[in-house]
Amino acid sequence: MKKQLHREAIMAIKPYVPGKPVEEVERELGITDVIKLASNENPLGPSPAAIETLQKTAAKVYLYPDGNCYYLKEALAEHTGFAADSIIVGNGSDEIIELIAKTFINPGEEAVVADPTFSEYDFAVKLMGGKTVFVPLKDQTHDLEGMLAAVTEKTKLIFICNPNNPTGTIVKREAVEELLSRLPGHVIAVFDEAYYEYVEDADYPQTVDYVREGHNVIVLRTFSKIYGLAGLRVGYGISRPDIIALLHRVKEPFNVNLPAQAAAIDALKDKGHLEKSRAVNAKGRDYLYGELEKRGLYYQPTNANFIWMDVKADSQQVFAKLLRRGVIVRTGDIFGAPSMLRVTIGTPEENKRFIAALDEVLKEEGVLHNG
């Protein structure tokens, strides 16, 4: 009998399918002027200062980067108020999620995750031969009571995407504090705050305070969303120094490239670009709310830079027809919601183009009617 080459655990993994890139759509369909509203990128792009830094550092790419990300950590320390030994920098938050699973999940151990949410948590846990325990959302939001009830002696991690991807909802301070007060000491709560900078709700929990209080908490943030550096892959985590030291044991030595480190520092400094990005997002959000309401389409109010909406039709069909009109969105079927779309809030021009294309498609689908 031939011996199996692969690890059995990887057969439980469902490969991640990213949003289609613009170049692929233009190549496949033979069209131009495609807009991408699928991956929650900042439509304004990065800070001009970050772009200038990228240009300056291009000549240095023959050198290995600083494996410790010293200067970026110093900038993050100033930004967050945490010492450098409480910070880990990763090749996007995705890598840190994987490092967390590598550090804490033994085969057969469990992580509690909402459903639907960001699929990378499930991927990382199953990669280590662990088991993902899914708890359905309640009113489109993490059901923290349900997630707490799912914790067992085998549970090592609980992942909370806040705001949640794809729904844009948040769990609030009181519910989080109740969770942490009852969470057993063998479980680490991971708060993925990729969209942190977009949140306006005063009841949004400042989870870094729980790190300061000594809880088993890891907070993840990223430069891929509001900072506009998705193509460079830079994320960071904040936790107690002892937890960060464990994560560093499984980190690759040169995981964040040299230009990315330099650009992230300047992106962090540019408060004006951050505020402009917030303002464009808020204006676009309100415009899209109004247009969807006019058409009688349900949407989930968002705390992020995307909107989760019901198009009352097969999202794959709608996606394909929007694609032919040069508009890339994200289908809901990958999140178990076949009539939903997740649409990134774009520039005013992109938002108007999306609505115009959506009108055409939903009229073809019989959801909207002329006049």
In the prediction, which pLDDT does 2 show? 78
Assess whether 186 and 196 both reside in one domain.
yes
Q: Report residue 186 as tokens.
A: 């063998």
Assess whether 226 and 115 both reside in one domain.
yes
Mean pLDDT of 187-213: 98
Show Cβ contacts of residue 301 under 8 Å, excluding neighbours closer than 6 positions. 168, 289
Q: What are the pLDDT digits (tens) for 223-267?
A: 999 999 999 999 999 999 999 999 999 999 999 999 999 999 999
pTM: 0.95
Q: What are the pLDDT digits (tens) for 127-162?
A: 999 999 999 999 999 999 999 999 999 999 999 999
Assess whether 213 and 336 both reside in one domain.
no
Residue 218 confidence (pLDDT) above 80: yes
CB 288 within 8 A of CB 316: no
290: containing domain: 8-45+272-364
Mean pLDDT of 169-195: 97
Of 234, 254, 270, the last residue of a domain is 270
Assess whether 57 and 41 both reside in one domain.
no
CB 168 within 8 A of CB 300: yes
Does 2 reside within a domain? no
Assess whether 152 and 292 both reside in one domain.
no
Residue 25 confidence (pLDDT) above 90: no
Does 370 reside within a domain? no
* pLDDT tier for residue 7 given thresholds of 50, 70 and 90: confident
In the prediction, which pLDDT does 240 show? 98
Helices 258-269 and 48-57: crossing angle, nearest 10°?
150
Q: Give 80 or 29, the one with higher predicted confidence.
A: 80
Assess whether 232 and 334 both reside in one domain.
no
